[in-house]
Chain A
Amino acid sequence: MARVVVDVMPKPEILDPQGQAVTGALARLGITGVADVRQGKHFELEVDDAVDDATLERIAEQLLANPVIEDWRVTRS
């Protein structure tokens, strides 16, 4: 078995109001110097060694991410 991580983030041009709300909350904690926060998703998959990179790409593109609004990165660890 292998551990695969898929990180999914909203595309840069997509407004991320959740990230903006987090940025605002940091200011209320008295923390300064954080100009921007963007919120995404982190998936950890346990996969058979037989699962190839093309299949992992398909998993990310067809289900874990929506290519219309999100970018993703697949990492084997």
Chain B
Amino acid sequence: MKIGVITFPGTLDDGDAARAVRLAGGEDVALWHADHDLRGVDAVIVPGGFSYGDYLRAGAIASLAPIMTEVVAAARRGLPVLGICNGFQILCEAGLLPGALVRNAGLHFVCRDQRLRVEATTAWTADLEGRELLIPVKNAEGRYVADDATLAELEDAGRVVFRYAGGNPNGSLNDIAGVASADGRVVGLMPHPEHAVDRLTGPSTDGLALFTSVLRATTAA
């Protein structure tokens, strides 16, 4: 199974995302922001870091990049897409996920190991149902906001995939750390599962299961 990992100008975590794909048993495929080519991948990861200087708003310019035109079209046909941190911001700006990510309450850049509850089964969390994870969070603009109607819809439909446990790091509404599209194929979260795939470099190996989940989802499809 081939999992694409996009690199934008300013992306930091594409290397770790590609490594996570390999550790999970998949084949990583590098995708370039300026291309219109998804290179036949079975799923796409929009990784974290920054993109185009995060000018205007985090993820705003990247959401209009040539590769994102292809990602949006393919996601609408059911291609699994995972947005991590800046990638989550990009997917919200691109309209693939509802809501927005804004400056953390308290204004601090928060970098810590964070507990998360997995509350929904999606293409990226089938192997994680009901689990609690410990994975790193690192951002300044991670506060999830959406209007009341959107929040109610997400809660009622079981589309809140990840919720902060043991303290909300940034003031996100309803302690939301990650959400899914209506079909459960597109998922975004602020914490970094790709940094928790190896005991040597992460606080746990809990993040690996997101990548094994999507490999099983794409194999079954």
B residues less than 8 Å from A63 (CB atoms): 56, 60, 64
Q: Is the CB of A68 within 8 A of B171?
A: no
- Does A47 lie at the interface of the complex (its beta carbon under 8 Å from any beta carbon of B)? no
- Does A5 lie at the interface of the complex (its beta carbon under 8 Å from any beta carbon of B)? no
Q: Among the listed B64, B105, B145, B171, which residue makes an inter-chain contact with A69, where contact means beta carbons less than 8 Å apart?
A: B145
- Does B107 lie at the interface of the complex (its beta carbon under 8 Å from any beta carbon of A)? yes
B177 to chain A, nearest CB (A): 18
Chain A interface size, as a band, is 10 to 19
Interface residue SS majority, chain A: mixed
A57 to chain B, nearest CB (A): 17
Q: Is the CB of B104 within 8 A of A69?
A: no
Q: Is the CB of B103 within 8 A of A17?
A: yes
A residues less than 8 Å from B147 (CB atoms): 68
Q: Among the listed B60, B103, B171, which residue makes an inter-chain contact with A18, where contact means beta carbons less than 8 Å apart?
A: B103
A68 with B107: in contact, given A14-B102, A63-B56, A63-B60 (CB under 8 Å)? no
Q: Among the listed B93, B105, B146, which residue makes an inter-chain contact with A17, where contact means beta carbons less than 8 Å apart?
A: B105
A21 with B145: in contact, given A66-B60, A66-B93, A69-B102 (CB under 8 Å)? no
B residues less than 8 Å from A2 (CB atoms): none
Q: Is the CB of A68 within 8 A of B146?
A: yes
Select from chain B the residue with minimum beta-carbon distance to A65.
B57
Please measure, in the bound complex, the distance between the C-alpha atom of A60 and the C-alpha atom of B57, giving whole angstroms.
13
B residues less than 8 Å from A68 (CB atoms): 92, 98-100, 145-147
A-B contacts, 20 listed (Cβ < 8 Å): A10-B102, A15-B105, A17-B103, A17-B105, A17-B106, A17-B107, A18-B107, A63-B56, A63-B60, A63-B64, A64-B56, A66-B57, A66-B60, A66-B93, A66-B100, A68-B92, A68-B98, A68-B100, A69-B100, A69-B102
- Extra 6 A-B pairs, beta carbons < 8 Å, given A17-B105, A68-B99, A68-B147: A17-B107, A63-B60, A63-B64, A64-B56, A66-B57, A69-B145
B contact set with A: CB distance below 8 Å: 56-57, 60, 64, 92-93, 98-100, 102-107, 143, 145-147, 171
A contact set with B: CB distance below 8 Å: 10, 14-15, 17-18, 21, 63-64, 66, 68-69
